[in-house]
Structure 1
Amino acid sequence: MRKLTFGLAVLALTTIFNTGFVRAQQPAGIKNIVLVHGAFVDGSGWKSVYDILVKDGYHVSVVQHPLTSFDGDVAAVKRVLALQDGPCILVGHSYGGAVITVAGNEEHVQGLVYIAAHAPADGENEAANGKLYPSAYKSLKKGADGFDYIDPASFPADFAADVPLKEAKFIANSQMPVADSAFHAVVRNPAWKTKPSWYMVAKADRIINPDLERMYAKRANSQTVEIEGASHSVFMSHPQEVAKLIIMAAEKAGKP
């Protein structure tokens, strides 16, 4: 009897393990996720979101675009999209939103997710849109070589107020300067016109005015969530909520 009970217990545990394994390896909907970082940071900021999605069985790619020109950044995203083995969800943070608005026209892309991001319309650029809804931060510095950066001393408060201070200071001092011309690049044929989109508004964002984020979301008819107290670095400070929105997009865009 003890052997039988033990055998049944092992069988039950094996069934639970295998069921969980299958669920983790076969998520519902679209399986491929491509993450695109914004200005002044690199792809490493997606690490927590990446870990959650991979644990849930998604195939996740993180683009490391150079921030040296808008066209170059779009090309970098398209290069990664070309590696996908099927439909994907394209996710952009901040300036990365403008990039995915163009790159999202690639056939692999079935849905767009904007995380506190720009989503310009045809003929617009993010620099001009930012003037319509002025940002709270005043720490942007323009280098003599045409590359912009954020004053490291102000970076934690302006860019990452809800990120642990030690981590925010590291990001401030490892930031990637951005070609100023990239912010003035005019968008053509925005992908959100023809593809479904989801949007996360960071309600305490000092880099992009939350009202501009709401305008983008409403205009694109995006399914929208707002995160209370979230800074511009919401993709780092609220990875669970970000991953949940991405999974929602993957499941809904993947339906026939």
Structure 2
Amino acid sequence: MDMDRRTFATSLLMGAAAAAVPSRASAQAARKPERANNVVLVHGLFADGSSWSEIIPRLQARGLNVTSVQNPLTTLEDAVAACRKVLDRQVGPTVLAGHSFSGMIVTEAGVHSNVSALVYVAARAPDAGEDYAALAARFPSPPASAGIIYDGDEGRLSEQAFLRDFAGDLPAAKARALFAVQQPFRRALLSGRTTQAAWRTKPSFYAVSTEDRTINPQLQRYMASRMGARTVELRSSHVSLISHPREIAALILKATDG
């Protein structure tokens, strides 16, 4: 009788252990996230949504649904709200990518349930509640900062600074065309702080521009390292999304796999 009891108890334990351990196939399925079929792109200062024009057709050619958000450049709250409206319209997993200042928007809006991964392109990546200006002040000031001019409440980059410090590795004619569509920003935009940091919970990717004269490359490396991002370095000006579109598109495609 004791033997029968021991055999029965052993059988129960083995059965419980088997039930607690999923099959290899189910475990692999649980680990593999669903591939993102949407990409939402956000532009930064001194630009508009057309700054992604070299990236969009590359992603569309791979069957992705792509939307470029028109950042109002008024306040951080307004910019995040504009991004969230676009994210609300996406069906299924979505990669959220931002250039330059819009890293603030990616960091805040990236907690959206549709967002599966984040891509930062030479972008700000603050922590929740962090004073970005204080963080940036720990590194040498980039030359473009001296080129910002204000007309009352609106700021923009001078043509000289735009051509030399923002888009320095583009042909002059192309850089001037981008300068022509530069959108001014409101002073209030620069004082906004994120209330959450999506990169703490979402897979993150970062493209560092090593020749950047708008955001210090060492600051970019610091932010990418802090978030544990999968990082690429490009010998590029601040506008790597235009001067190195193949590499930026490839990074976004990696992010669609989670």
TM-score tier by shorter-chain length is 0.7 to 0.9
- After superposition, give the CA deviation of every residue in 1:141-193 in whole Å (9 maximum; x if it has no partner): 1332x221111122111100111211111222321111122122111111001
Question: How far apart are the structure 1 equivalents of 2:80 and 2:213?
Answer: 25
Q: Which residue of 2 aligns with 1:173?
A: 180
Which residue of the other structure, out of 108, 122, 125, is the alignment partner of 1:119?
125
Q: Which one-letter code corresponds to 1:141 in the other structure?
A: I
Question: How far apart are the structure 2 equivalents of 1:131 and 1:181?
Answer: 19
Q: Return 5+ residue gaps in structure 2 as ranges.
A: 1-33
1:188 lines up with 2:195 in the alignment: yes
1:248 lines up with 2:245 in the alignment: no
Question: How far apart are the structure 2 equivalents of 1:123 and 1:69?
Answer: 16
Question: How far apart are the structure 2 equivalents of 1:157 and 1:31?
Answer: 37
Q: Which one-letter code corresponds to 1:136 in the other structure?
A: P
Per the normalisation by structure 2, the TM-score is 0.84
Per the normalisation by structure 1, the TM-score is 0.84
The count of corresponding residues between Structure 1 and Structure 2 is 223
Q: Which residue of 2 aligns with 1:37?
A: 43
Which aligned pairs between 1:2-151 and structure 2 lie closer than 5 A? 29-133=35-139, 134-137=141-144, 138-144=146-152, 146-151=153-158
User: Secondary structure at the residue paired with 1:153?
Assistant: helix
Q: Return 5+ residue gaps in structure 1 as ranges.
A: 1-27
Structure 1 window deviating more from structure 2 (159-168 vs 126-135): it is 126-135
CA RMSD, Structure 1 to Structure 2 (Å)? 1.2
User: Secondary structure at the residue paired with 1:48?
Assistant: coil
Deviating beyond 2 angstroms after TM superposition, the runs of 4 or more aligned structure 1 residues are 125-130
- Is the CA contact 2:35–2:93 (under 8 Å) kept in the aligned structure 1? no
Question: How far apart are the structure 2 equivalents of 1:87 and 1:96?
Answer: 20
Which residue of the other structure, out of 188, 198, 204, is the alignment partner of 2:211?
204
- After superposition, give the CA deviation of every residue in 1:92-140 in whole Å (9 maximum; x if it has no partner): 0001111110000110001100000000012213333222222122211
Question: How far apart are the structure 2 equivalents of 1:31 and 1:231?
Answer: 29
- After superposition, give the CA deviation of every residue in 1:201-256 in whole Å (9 maximum; x if it has no partner): 0000000000110011001000000002x0001111111000000001111x1xxx
Q: Which one-letter code corresponds to 2:222 in the other structure?
A: M
